[in-house]
Structures are given as structure tokens and as C-alpha cells.
Chains A and B, each alone.
Chain A
């Protein structure tokens, strides 16, 4: 039997890849939430705005899940792992033993006491309910998720302020040139950008900045990063450190594997440990892990990728942000372009703004070895 701890994109894709590669053993998928696998990128966009019914975020049809021939055990969080026995204990008292255990439990959002976050479907619907009351809203966090929530809320007609320590939204993930364009977009659409000062807390009056300023708010949404869901593994004996530490095969111990947001593995071409919080990694790493469970013995060496949709901008980033940029297609002025990031003579990344196909076509120019900041590894990235 193979036990997959986590019933979201990474866990589901691991199960699918195992079946596709011919695995005929028992498959059990354990989920902390009560829901069948659903997708998270739409939560901050189509589900929050109401453009989609929540059901449209389901990852697979009932027929496709039936064909998978896997048992879903839902609404029962894992609380302990016995590595030697490869046994997972759950909150309800179940003990599930398997030849292979795949850790795909994802992230917990960092938060401030009493404030809204957005990680789960239920949290997205609760936030939507609040936004519909048109409260004065402050989004704390200038990364991908915070910027997406601000954009969606603004499009719902809500008065929104976006706060965070960077000079422009997503500056870390986009580099200064493109982040400034994103700042202009948010401002032109009516988002009040209050950036460049970290938030120190929230009280009855609003959000407190490190400058001493208080920003009045009726509703505060916190989106300043997440931590890997490893609290239940603290006493397992596995090596933990910003995720479940794995070898280049994504193996944490004999018969124990990790995949998706929670996995920090040795990326052989980069020569260091990497953890990626993005949607594509969840499924691509799942394919690699399924292969290695079945004996492929292959290293996982992806080029990171994420996208974000905000107002009319569709931004796609492949690889890494480097210190030098050049426009290789389109133009910044027309807000339709592909930018290449360089470090020395090497192409380390490619970004498309409303040019997804063209950005993907430039992806192959990225040099495999690029020891730069991982743009697509930052919190909240889709």
C-alpha cells in the first residue's frame, strides 16, 4: 500500500502518476480538510470574486476520481508519523501503515491573531462574504497572494489598501522594473498602495506600521507567507528545516517521500536544497516522486514556474529573476512583452506580461545552472 498524506494538487497528482506508471497496489489519500481535491490558485481570483461557483475549483470529476481506485480518508489530519513502521496516526485515532508514505501536506499560512487568511476553500468563501459587505479592507502582504487578493477585492468594488515592506508589489518575484509596472497597474485601478513599511500588528483601530502610522480598517487580510505543515513531524526523527529535507530523489527516509510545498529537496543542477511554493511544482514533483517510488532513481531538477492574474495582466515567470533585464518581445509601454533576466552572460529567467505563449517559447534559453534567487519559490505563488 502507498499512503499519501495530503489530498490537494500534489497528493492527487502523485496518486495519478503512480497509476499511470502501472502501480496496482492499494492507494490511500489522507486529507486534513473535509473536501475532495480542489485547486487553490482560483481561490484568490475566480472563487473569491464569485466568477466561479466553488464546485468549479474541484480538481477532478467524480468519474475520474473513481477511476483512480484510491481510498480517500478526509477531514482527519495526520498527527504523528512512525518512520520505522511507516505508520501515520490521525486525529481521530486511525493508524495507517504502508510500504511507502508520501508527505504532501502543504502549508499553513502565517497569520495575525483574529485576522482573515486565504489558504483553504472555506477561508476563501468566508473572505468573500466579508468583502461583499464592502468593508474598508487592508491586505497585509505584498507578495503574489496579497497582490491577487487586493486586485480581486478592488474588482468587486471594495476600497482596498495593500501594505508590505517592499517598494512595489512582488518586487522579489518580478524584479524592480516589472514590479513597478504592477504598482502602476494597481494604482490606476484604485488600489491604495502603502508599501515600504512593515506591519507590526493589528488592533481595534487598524493596522500598525513600523513607522508608527495607523491605517484604519474594518477588515484585515493577512497574506505574508506560509510555513510548511511539518508540526506533526517534529517527533518523527525526519530531518526538518523549512520543510521536509529530502535527497535529490525527494526521499526523506527509507520509504518516506515528500512532494509539493512541504518538500525541501536537493536540486542537483542548482547544487543546493530547494523548496518551491508554486502550483506547477506540486504536479511535476509528484510525477518524479511516483517514478522514484517505482524504482526510477531519477533526480528532480525542474525549472521553476509560476503565473499570476491581476486585473488585465497575466504574468508568467519561468526560472529566476536576475540582476539584468532585456525586453525580447513586445514593449513595456504596450503592457505586452517578454523580458529576459540575465546574470553575467547567462539567461536565468523569462517573464511574460500578457504574452504567455511567447514566454514559454523563450523558456528553453534558460541555463540549467542558475544560482540566483528562486523567483517561483516565494510564498503565495500559484
Chain B
């Protein structure tokens, strides 16, 4: 799994951080997404897929 984030689309909701805090964080100054781990281990794949799907700004893409 390879994750990419679009910081221009990100709205700073933090939904991804609530779901997968080991993979996503937010910048302190403006809340924009920070990718901590672009290729997370298999046990996190399901949560990352959910984070990408429920992101309210469609800012997370996942490829296999």
C-alpha cells in the first residue's frame, strides 16, 4: 500500500488522525494533514482505506 495526500485539498478535519494516528497527523499551525507513514504495515491497511473513504475533503489516495 502506498498513500498520497493532497494538502491543497485537505480541510483540516482530522478524521484521518482519529482513525489512524500512527499514519496521519496535522500541522499545529493550520491543521493540514501530515503523512507520517506512506507505506504502513498490513495491519493498518483497513483503517487507512476507511480514512481515505471518509475524508471529508477527498484528500487521501491509496494505491496498492
Contacts and interface: CB of A to CB of B under 8 A. Distances in A.
Interface in B7-59: 9, 11-15, 17-18, 26-28, 30-31, 46, 49-50, 53-58
A56 B31 CA distance: 21
B14 A382 contact: no
Given A280-B15, A283-B53, A360 B58 contact: no
Given A314-B12, A360-B14, A13 B54 contact: yes
Interface in A41-60: 41, 56, 59-60
A316 interface: yes
Nearest to A364: B18
A59 B9 CA distance: 11
Contact of A287 (B9, B12, B31, B54): B54
Contacts, number: 72
Contacts of B14: 356-357, 360
A144 to B, nearest CB: 13
B13 A356 contact: yes
* Residues of A contacting B: mostly: helix
Contacts of B49: 20
B54 A307 contact: no
Contact of B13 (A59, A286, A360): A360
Contact of B31 (A9, A17, A283, A314): A314
A129 B50 CA distance: 37
A283 B56 contact: yes
A144 B61 CA distance: 28
A206 B7 CA distance: 41
Contacts of B56: 9, 41, 279-280, 283, 307, 382
A305 B11 CA distance: 12
Chain A interface size, as a band, is 20 to 34
A13 B15 CA distance: 14
A159 interface: no
A20 B53 CA distance: 10
A333 interface: no
B11 A13 contact: no
Given A316-B12, A356-B12, A41 B54 contact: no
A355 interface: yes
A277 interface: no
Contacts of B30: 314, 354, 356
A61 interface: yes
A142 interface: no
Contact of A360 (B17, B50, B54, B57): B17
B13 A305 contact: yes
B53 A357 contact: no
B64 to A, nearest CB: 9
B31 A356 contact: yes
B28 A357 contact: yes
Nearest to A361: B14
6 closest cross-chain pairs (CB), A and B: A356-B31, A356-B12, A360-B14, A283-B54, A357-B26, A16-B53
Given A280-B56, A287-B54, A360-B31, 15 more contacts: A13-B54, A16-B53, A17-B50, A20-B46, A20-B49, A61-B61, A280-B15, A280-B54, A314-B30, A314-B31, A316-B12, A352-B31, A357-B28, A358-B28, A360-B18
5 contacts: A16-B53, A17-B53, A20-B53, A64-B61, A283-B54
